[in-house]
């Protein structure tokens, strides 16, 4: 049997669970369940629209279509886990992220004042919008009015929050 030329080989979902520990899989399952608003085992555009609405955000159909186009097929939990694994693997390396944060936290305290971080996000590199910054602060690990960027890197890279390290 010959392979069709020009087509990207499909990854098998059978090994996707080996890429995560049990806690991560459970957290992704909880996220999937929250997004799967109609509880049919698949995430659809309607599920995404309803999920965004439950967060008080109205997204238009073209935005939702673009989100769904990122999936290579029906978005069941295994596909969702594969998709999330791909997204996490395609982030910058830990060293690159640390270097980026150290440009703001030159004394390596692990904390960046919120005002200083906001200024960096709006004035350097790919500039964030006010909405993107608000969404980022909804999930960023904070210590008072400071972003705990070392924990934030772990959140970005590994998809879960982690207890403070001694």
Q: Are residues 99 and 73 in the same domain?
A: no
Q: Has residue 9 got a pLDDT over 70?
A: no
Average pLDDT over residues 13-22: 67
Residue-level pLDDT at 124: 78
H-run or E-run covering 115: helix 114-123
Q: What is the pLDDT of residues 71-99, one digit of tens each?
A: 777 888 988 888 777 766 656 667 777 88
Residue-level pLDDT at 160: 58
Q: Are residues 63 and 103 in the same domain?
A: no
In a domain, 7, yes or no: no
Q: What is the pLDDT of residues 108-138, one digit of tens each?
A: 999 999 989 998 888 877 788 888 888 888 8
Average pLDDT over residues 139-148: 89
Residues 6+ positions from 79 with CB-CB distance below 8 Å: 13, 71, 72, 73
| Cα 69 to Cα 75: distance, rounded to the nearest angstrom | 11
| Cα 134 to Cα 140: distance, rounded to the nearest angstrom | 10
Range of the domain at 118: 94-158
Q: Are residues 44 and 82 in the same domain?
A: yes
Chosen domain end from 89, 117, 132 = 89
Q: Are residues 81 and 101 in the same domain?
A: no
The widest CA-to-CA distance across the chain, in whole angstroms, is 61
In a domain, 4, yes or no: no
pLDDT, greater one: 6 or 156: 156
How much is the pTM?
0.49
Chosen domain end from 89, 113, 147 = 89
pLDDT band at 151 (very low <50, low <70, confident <90, very high): confident
Chosen domain end from 67, 89, 111 = 89
Buried b (16+ CB within 10 A) or exposed e, 101-136: beebbeeeebbbebeebbebbeeeeeebeeeebeee
Residues pairing with 23 in the sheet: none
């Amino acid at each position: 049997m010959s392979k069709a030329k020009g087509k990207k080989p499909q990854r098998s979902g059978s090994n996707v669970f080996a890429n995560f520990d049990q806690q991560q899989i459970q957290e992704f399952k909880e996220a999937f369940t929250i997004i799967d608003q109609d509880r049919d085992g698949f995430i659809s555009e309607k599920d995404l629209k309803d999920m965004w609405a439950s967060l008080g955000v109205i997204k238009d159909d073209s935005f939702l279509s673009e989100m769904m186009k990122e999936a290579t097929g029906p978005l069941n939990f295994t596909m969702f886990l594969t998709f999330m694994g791909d997204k996490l693997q395609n982030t910058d390396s830990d060293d690159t992220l640390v270097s980026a944060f150290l440009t703001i936290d030159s004394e390596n305290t692990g904390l960046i004042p919120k005002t200083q971080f906001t200024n960096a996000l709006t004035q350097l590199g790919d500039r964030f919008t006010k909405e993107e910054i608000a969404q980022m602060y909804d999930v960023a690990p904070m210590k008072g009015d400071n972003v705990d960027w070392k924990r934030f890197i772990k959140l970005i890279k590994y998809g879960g929050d982690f207890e403070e390290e001694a």
